[in-house]
Structure 1
Amino acid sequence: MSTRHLRYFFRPKSIAVIGASARHENLGSVVLRNLIDAGYEGELFVVNQRGYARVQNKPCFAKVRHLPKVPSMAIICTPPTTVPRLVRQLGRFGVKAALILMGGLSRTQSRSGRPLKDSVYAAAERYGVRVLGPNSLGILVPGHRMNASYAHLNVKPGNVAYVGQSGIMGSAMIDWAHGRGIGFSHFLTLGDAVDVEITDIIDYLAGDPNTKTILLHLERITSAAGFISAVRAASRSKLVLAVKSGRVAEAQETPAVPPSGILSTDQVYDAVFHRAGVLRVHSTDEMFDALATLSAAKKLRGERLAIISNGVGPSVLATDGLVLNGGRLAKVSEETIKRLAKILPAFWTRRNPIDLSAAANEVRYARVMEIVAADPGVDALLVMYAPTQAAPPIAVARAVAETAKNIDRPVLVSWIGLTSVRESRELFDSMGVPQYFTPDKAVRAFMHMVHNNRHQAVLLETPPALTDKSSLDRAKVPEIIDRAKKERRNLLHVREVRDILTAFDVPFVDTRFSENVDELCEAAADLGYPVALKFLHSANTRPFWYQAAGNRPFRGIVLAIDSEARLRAAAGRLVERARERYRDGRGLGYAVQTMRSGMGYIQLNVAVTRDPVFGPLLLFGEGGPPTAVMSDRRIGLPPLNIALARDLVRGAWVYSLIQAFGDRSDVLLDELCKILVHLSQLVVDNPEIEGLEVNPLLMNRDGLIALDGMCRLGEPRASLIQAYPEELRELAVTRKGRRVELRPIRGEDEPAHAEFARRLSRESIRFRFFHHRTSIGHTEMARLTQIDYDREMAFIATEGIKGVSHTLAVIRIWIDADNISCEFAIIVRDDLAGEGLGSMLMRKMIDYARARGILIMTGTVLPENEPMLRLASRHDFQSRYNSDEGVMEIWLPLNEPANEWQRRRMRIPGSYNPDEDDEDDD
């Protein structure tokens, strides 16, 4: 994951096209012609060993080393066998970026028998060349008049970046976007991605001010941790959409095996996109419609849709689609109804949807739109038209498009038909009004906007106060795991699973274990009849055992046993069945427990599984029989907080049954979410847990209790998302004797952080933000507290007063994608100045950044902020005055660079080396 040298691909000052010739259809010639036709303003060179003097009036050279200067980027359009040698030549010549358009390197082998793409990667690594491709369509950056591709059409400038893996799909997208008038800030496909990966491109685009939306077309994800880190960072400031092909095994070249407990790997992608803040679409049709909406529509600030049509039929279709997909129909106010009644026929329905009647002309359309848009209860408008004799479609379309310009909320249109409305659709495209062929498509596009808003709200939801983890016996679990390892067992006994769950505050029904029937009867008598009995066998005590059981699952359970005689008989029958079912029927003993029965219970299932790409996953859904379990699976990525746990539960079908507990449902939901958070912490603390299943977890009005649990161990695998770094917590004492805790910030700190901000003086706020601010809203405050520890860090000083934590000071850093530099900001509550909090936090952050391998720490300070400048000086920061900006720039080198590129990237503020091309500073 690195943005190293990516600027050469997107902002090259010179390009060499290798392989262009006098043949018109030659790949290199097509690329060169596209560059020239797009109006590329940099220098263009051609390399072709045939000895041409010029190609398309551009100078041609026989070899790379004969070029008059080192080009910013080279585009390789030659046969596969020549590519590794060319990459080596480019590296020796000093070229930093190579775009490889030719395919076949994955299937063509070198003399050593390995694919040629491996040789390309080895050459790129050796000489420090970034390679995009092979098998790439190319790169288009219309804002800089660059079309470095073999695409059959150019694209117009816009604010959408398209990043794909398939050249053919990219070509189809260009053709479609050209017809709809949609523009792009960047357009590229990665092909085989031997070096530059999608995570690198996302990181680059996240920092591009001209890109507002990132559209990803994915076939596979290999660097899972880098991908989710990159898209989480990007989705905080930009809309990120993704379409994932290869959803079913039959469509995959090498079918992926679903993780245990899950039917399809596509469910995992749903969870990954959801957690990362990515809006997923499931087809190219949806992708095109979503792109049309999100690239042209105005910002949606609510969910209430008003539907306007010249007939009842289209309105009914649109309303059905809206409500069935979880949308909200706007309720128009009485004032709006009165105003509409003056211009609509007397028989109109006086409600939304608004039927203009078949006699509606362009004037009526425009006036109704203005009235409805003025209603504070309306957040968006869907305007539909079916051809009639009352007014020409183009006249109505022109009036609607002009009116939409002056409306401050999204306006979507659907002109239904084909022959009569073709010109109207072209008009809408040219005027940037999102238009759809059918009411269904229009509603689906609107719901894309709604789902994106809802999802972003969930991700920014303030988590309730942390569950009390002090009650967890976290040290007990490693002891159990270590004992199993020493005994060379990867399957834990149910007794051990019970001990693990209770150590993490998951209530477990009173259960006794025995390998002896006589002892079993004594235990049952002690518990009291009726009891439930389970014969324990390696086949029915492993997580998700039912997936491997086929059509003859052996549960080994007998319920409602009410006497010792029946208990003995049941134990004998279970042993016989096990012997019939398995070659080894000896088993692992018996478990007997208090019988839980009654109509007031619902069965839940909570589990942990592991995906080979995405690592540990949390599962939730209905419990009980295998068919119920597998049909109601929701997937979450650890670590979870309470807000994320609630989101996980609310997405499951069984949530409707939890709501049926009425006045107890909120309390029970909280208890369930605490269990999920604790299981999340369990798998974070103990990465050896490969699989864990609690089934059933019973819920009734009194609470929750687990009846059975299974656990399997494997090689340690860390969670995809970095957990809260508790190891960075420490206690300290200020100069005035105040006892404080210095620790990383977390989402639950938002209320305390908001209170902290309210207590800051105007001067402190100006010193921190460089301008006066009256308040900080929830969205920004959530982003300040719910941080990605992979990309940023914030340490706070807190003090507990009467059980309530108060924030006293904060320091934070933002780290670039290459871990080269970080920029810091620090602020201390005014009434605590002089206690040394700033110095404590600065020391802690410097130590953290240095240990992480960051090369340089920088900051910007107002010249009059003398306390900050003194603090920086005490910690060995250097400084200079930037007269252009009127600020002090300060910096502290932390580690030595490992190579020349890192040295240039950590350039000291204000320094300049005239011998270095400014493009070296990516």
Structure 2
Amino acid sequence: MTIRNLDRLFKPSSIALIGASRQPQSIGQVVARNLFNAGFDGPIMPVNPHERSIEGVLAYNSVAALPLTPDLAVIATPPQTIPGLIAELGERGTKAAVVITAGFAEMGEDGRKLQQQVLDAARPHLLRVVGPNCLGVMVPARGVNAGFAHLPPLKGDIALVAQSGAVVTSILDWANARGIGFSHLVSLGGMADVDFGDMLDYLAQDPNVRAILLYVEAITHARKFMSAARAAARAKPVIVIKAGRSDEAAKAASSHTGALAGADAVYDAAFRRAGMLRVSELDELFDAVETLATGVQIKGDRLAILTNGGGIGVLATDALVGQGGRLAALAPETIEKLGRVLPPTWSHGNPVDIIGDASGKRYADALGILLEDPGCDAVLVMNCPTAVADSVDAADAVVSVLKAKGNKRTPVLTSWLGETAAAEARRQFAKQRIPDYHTPNQAVRAFMHLVRYRKNQELLMETPPSVPEQFDVDMAVARRQIDEALTTGCDWLSEYQAKEVLRAYGIPCVQTVTAATPAEAERAARRLGGRIALKILSPDITHKSDLGGVALNLAPNQVWAEAEAMLERVRSFMPTARIEGFTVQEMAHRPDAHELIVGMIDDVLFGPVILFGAGGTGVEVVADKELGLPPLNMNLAREMMSRTRIHRLLLGYRSRPKADLDAIALSLIKVSQLVTDFPEIVELDINPLFADDKGVLALDARIKVAPPKMEGSRRLSIRPYPKKLEQTVRLRDGREFLIRPIRPEDEPLIHDMVAHTSLEDLRLRFFAPMKRLSHQLAARLTQIDYGREMALVAERPDDETGEPAIHGTVRITADPDNERAEYAVLVRSDMKGKGLGYVMMTRILDYARMRGIKEVFGEVLRENTTMLAMCRELGFTQHDNPDDPGVMEVSYRVPKPAGE
């Protein structure tokens, strides 16, 4: 990930347009017109060897003839000329280029080679390239309109990044008509260099950007994208629309999981995990833009509906319930207050129907009361035109109430139906930044956008509980089964091997033995006793029941005959299949158990993806499933489960007890850990996984393996907990501490550490008086992206309670270019002067060297003499802060790793 030189792209001091033209309606002519008429405060230098001037400005016949080096070059020349132009610009010192020209990777192998030549020419000069095959870049506040859109954008604080130029122009046209402006409009095109990850990193840091909109056709670097998206979504709203919902990956899948986990569902899981809001259609994106442009924020999902028409109130209610929302339950005092100001025929409930002749005063009275109800998280005010009341008067009343209430009030959305009668009302709402929608369904959909976005944000900030039980892992057993399959050339582990792998990770499995012959199968059945399940054992058969390869509820004395009959059935269906015998297992008698599926596929882009849902033989038909990206914790696992239909059954109903939800969630975590530890696993099915109030039990399991394409956890799109950084250290006083990376579930321990730290020490660390950390700050400190920052904690049981305790923490946060990282350190006050802070600083600087960071820096209060002395001892240089005489700036040049 990198934002290097993107300032030259979006904040250039000079621009060259190569391929500028005077030919009407040509791209070079449209780009020139847009550039010269956008108000850019700097030189714009057109390059065209055949024209004397462009837009009344002197033209230059070549890059070499330019009087100064442009920060940004916009190129609209034939594709074969681009590599040479990029090389020439790079040699002159240009650091950014927008390549509008098409004819590269989208044209096949020759185009891909040409695109690589462009990158090869740019790389030595660190020249950033947007495109090729793009509409261009627009930054209205800077007067930059480097593209061929049909009209200029308005200034605003919403950034739009899209692969499709047509989408950019469509949104631009729509937004201008509604007075919505943008901070940036970026058409990425072929994404040869600058991609979504780069843009998210850059825009997240821009204080002039309040929200980010993405139109995605494909992601290129999943881990880079996820890291940038999670960081951006913590800082500001990110809304995404993904084109292409095809499930080509499912066509070639050989497991239930593969068949269920289509490509679009994986993108959906990734967007949700990143904390972004996904919308499905372009008009939804428009609605979301309008909602964001008004700055509405909500705290819950309870909606009150105020309307002058019962019918549209019913339509809004149907839309709300259909999209998973809730009608707010009005408090008795709210009903009483409304009864005093409304006619007797009002609805006496939610929706609040104030009757068709409702005046502006009636709207104002009712809205004012609803805004005071603590059970309402938002109010939708609707109006349909009537001959006995004025729609504009009603709108004016709404505006007046909201002005009087100020910003600290319940959010309000509006829907004024009609066209002629509603036009002036909509203008009033737009002027006051009050969201308005043409139909009840659109208004409710916008409300649910806010609800889903809030839930995604809460998931980003929610502290996961500690795993309810510790599970031991026997990696040697799992390794032995996987290596044996790979050595013998088997893609699929046998059922017995698969269950051995699951047992090694603490997942309970029904007792299973293998038998080579029908006679051995019967002897095994007699040893197991009870009712028996008999299954064919073949590396060539994945769905055994489809070929008659499964027989259930057999008595031991029935097994021999059934095994012989099974052999005949399977051979008649698949005569070439290799038959290795049978698996014999005890029938699990758990009448209240639910049949679930837990699985994993290795997505071509996002890597391992975990699946959960309703299991059994009809799993593809029912298709009740959800996906999640590993690594998982208890919160993420439970959230996955909650989005399925079967989750409601797992909560218990009638005489059926509630299933052990913790055991189910823990099974998901164990599978997540398994596929993290073994990159050889490419598909996994546990189907069915029985779940009831007694726990879980795997009845059948299949695991597909292949030689790993990359080492360890690198295939994961979210970097997992880096266990290799764990280290035990001994201080001068003999006490030992475990130095390890911080985990999200450490938040309670961080609060405890702060409670053992003096107010003065906290002030020296946070530069402000502080008694405790807020949940938001503590979550931000513990829920880190290991790919872009690192925090180490010193853990040791508390001397008094014996409970786990954190005695110190140190962190570095790197810039997206991985060049510089800011450090911070804090130790409990009772640990000061014992060397713990020095040890932790040494460890984090070792990590910075391993990571390839070039400089570690920080700010230290001048009065913090202890920290300044430690910095000197560690080799930091110190100098005054020109903006604050009370602060010293310290920096450490990190030596290169050994061998470089």
Normalised-by-shorter TM-score class: over 0.9
Aligned residues: 885
Cα-to-partner distance string for 1:571-592 (whole Å, 9 max, x where unaligned):
0011001110112245121111
Secondary structure of the structure 2 residue equivalent to 1:342: helix
State the partner residue of 2:760. 763
Which of the residues 320, 323, 342 maps onto 1:322? 320
Shift, 1:682, TM fit: 0.7
State the partner residue of 1:561. 554
CA contact (8 A) 1:256 1:265 kept: no
Partner Cα separation in structure 2 for residue 845 and residue 331 of structure 1: 52
Shift, 1:487, TM fit: 2.8
Partner Cα separation in structure 2 for residue 113 and residue 853 of structure 1: 34
The aligned runs of 1:446-457 (5 Å cut-off) are 446-457=447-458
Q: Does 1:487 align with 2:488?
A: yes
Cα-to-partner distance string for 1:752-795 (whole Å, 9 max, x where unaligned):
11121223222112111111124322222112111110011100
Partner Cα separation in structure 2 for residue 361 and residue 312 of structure 1: 16
State the partner residue of 1:122. 120
Shift, 1:469, TM fit: 4.6
Shift, 1:663, TM fit: 10
Shift, 1:488, TM fit: 3.0
Partner Cα separation in structure 2 for residue 662 and residue 772 of structure 1: 54
The aligned runs of 1:873-892 (5 Å cut-off) are 873-886=872-885, 887-892=887-892
Partner Cα separation in structure 2 for residue 467 and residue 442 of structure 1: 42
Instruction: From the superposition, tell whether residues 661 and 361 of structure 1 become closer, same or farther in structure 2 (CA, over 3 Å).
Output: closer
Shift, 1:635, TM fit: 1.0
Shift, 1:127, TM fit: 4.0
Partner Cα separation in structure 2 for residue 194 and residue 848 of structure 1: 31
CA contact (8 A) 1:261 1:609 kept: no
Cα-to-partner distance string for 1:862-898 (whole Å, 9 max, x where unaligned):
0001111111111111110114222100011114699
Shift, 1:598, TM fit: 5.5
CA contact (8 A) 1:181 1:430 kept: no
The aligned runs of 1:145-544 (5 Å cut-off) are 145-248=143-246, 260-262=258-260, 264-405=262-403, 406-407=405-406, 408-466=409-467, 468-469=469-470, 471-540=472-541, 542=542
CA contact (8 A) 1:605 1:624 kept: yes
CA contact (8 A) 1:14 1:43 kept: yes
State the partner residue of 2:579. 587
Shift, 1:83, TM fit: 2.3
Instruction: From the superposition, tell whether residues 746 and 146 of structure 1 become closer, same or farther in structure 2 (CA, over 3 Å).
Output: same
Secondary structure of the structure 2 residue equivalent to 1:396: helix
Instruction: From the superposition, tell whether residues 220 and 108 of structure 1 become closer, same or farther in structure 2 (CA, over 3 Å).
Output: closer
State the partner residue of 1:134. 132
CA contact (8 A) 1:297 1:411 kept: no
Cα-to-partner distance string for 1:835-883 (whole Å, 9 max, x where unaligned):
1110111011000110011111001000001111111111111110114
CA contact (8 A) 1:622 1:628 kept: no
State the partner residue of 2:806. 807
Cα-to-partner distance string for 1:286-315 (whole Å, 9 max, x where unaligned):
111111112214221222211111111111
Instruction: From the superposition, tell whether residues 212 and 854 of structure 1 become closer, same or farther in structure 2 (CA, over 3 Å).
Output: same
What letter is aligned with 1:432?
Answer: R
Structure 1 segments unaligned to the other structure (5+ residues): 547-551, 899-922
State the partner residue of 2:37. 37
Shift, 1:56, TM fit: 1.8
CA contact (8 A) 2:540 2:578 kept: no
Shift, 1:665, TM fit: 6.2
Which of the residues 642, 652, 677 maps onto 1:660? 652
Partner Cα separation in structure 2 for residue 362 and residue 327 of structure 1: 28
Worse overlay, 402-411 or 94-103 = 402-411
State the partner residue of 2:855. 856
Partner Cα separation in structure 1 for residue 823 and residue 656 of structure 2: 46
The aligned runs of 1:890-905 (5 Å cut-off) are 890-895=890-895
Instruction: From the superposition, tell whether residues 784 and 145 of structure 1 become closer, same or farther in structure 2 (CA, over 3 Å).
Output: same
State the partner residue of 1:701. 693
State the partner residue of 1:601. 593
What letter is aligned with 2:559?
Answer: L
Worse overlay, 739-748 or 518-527 = 518-527
Worse overlay, 801-810 or 203-212 = 801-810
Secondary structure of the structure 2 residue equivalent to 1:40: coil
Instruction: From the superposition, tell whether residues 373 and 824 of structure 1 become closer, same or farther in structure 2 (CA, over 3 Å).
Output: same
CA contact (8 A) 1:180 1:426 kept: no
Cα-to-partner distance string for 1:180-201 (whole Å, 9 max, x where unaligned):
2111111111011111111111
Worse overlay, 591-600 or 205-214 = 591-600
Partner Cα separation in structure 2 for residue 598 and residue 90 of structure 1: 72
The aligned runs of 1:590-669 (5 Å cut-off) are 590-597=582-589, 599-628=591-620, 631-660=623-652, 668-669=660-661
Partner Cα separation in structure 1 for residue 346 and residue 264 of structure 2: 47
Q: Does 1:785 align with 2:770?
A: no
Instruction: From the superposition, tell whether residues 40 and 753 of structure 1 become closer, same or farther in structure 2 (CA, over 3 Å).
Output: same
Shift, 1:424, TM fit: 2.4
State the partner residue of 1:55. 54
Partner Cα separation in structure 2 for residue 232 and residue 533 of structure 1: 47
CA contact (8 A) 1:855 1:897 kept: no
Partner Cα separation in structure 2 for residue 135 and residue 459 of structure 1: 35
Secondary structure of the structure 1 residue equivalent to 2:805: strand
Cα-to-partner distance string for 1:515-558 (whole Å, 9 max, x where unaligned):
03322222211111321111112233x4xx48xxxxx9225111
Secondary structure of the structure 1 residue equivalent to 2:738: strand
RMSD, aligned α-carbons: 2.4
TM-score for the superposition, normalised by structure 2: 0.94
Partner Cα separation in structure 1 for residue 486 and residue 253 of structure 2: 27
State the partner residue of 1:681. 673
State the partner residue of 1:911. none
Instruction: From the superposition, tell whether residues 472 and 380 of structure 1 become closer, same or farther in structure 2 (CA, over 3 Å).
Output: same
State the partner residue of 1:81. 80
Instruction: From the superposition, tell whether residues 11 and 663 of structure 1 become closer, same or farther in structure 2 (CA, over 3 Å).
Output: farther
Shift, 1:436, TM fit: 0.7
Shift, 1:266, TM fit: 0.8
Worse overlay, 303-312 or 846-855 = 303-312
Secondary structure of the structure 2 residue equivalent to 1:38: coil
Instruction: From the superposition, tell whether residues 883 and 83 of structure 1 become closer, same or farther in structure 2 (CA, over 3 Å).
Output: closer
Shift, 1:504, TM fit: 0.6
Cα-to-partner distance string for 1:612-631 (whole Å, 9 max, x where unaligned):
11111111111110445761
Cα-to-partner distance string for 1:460-517 (whole Å, 9 max, x where unaligned):
2221113555622123222322233333333222222121111111111111211033
Taking only the aligned residue pairs, the percentage that are identical comes to 40
CA contact (8 A) 1:661 1:701 kept: no
What letter is aligned with 1:624?
Answer: G
Instruction: From the superposition, tell whether residues 283 and 256 of structure 1 become closer, same or farther in structure 2 (CA, over 3 Å).
Output: farther
CA contact (8 A) 1:108 1:116 kept: no
What letter is aligned with 2:14?
Answer: S
Q: Does 1:575 align with 2:575?
A: no
Partner Cα separation in structure 2 for residue 676 and residue 893 of structure 1: 43
Worse overlay, 421-430 or 689-698 = 421-430
Shift, 1:640, TM fit: 0.7
Partner Cα separation in structure 2 for residue 663 and residue 777 of structure 1: 43
What letter is aligned with 1:747?
Answer: P
What letter is aligned with 1:760?
Answer: T
Worse overlay, 512-521 or 41-50 = 512-521
State the partner residue of 2:663. 671
Partner Cα separation in structure 1 for residue 519 and residue 303 of structure 2: 69
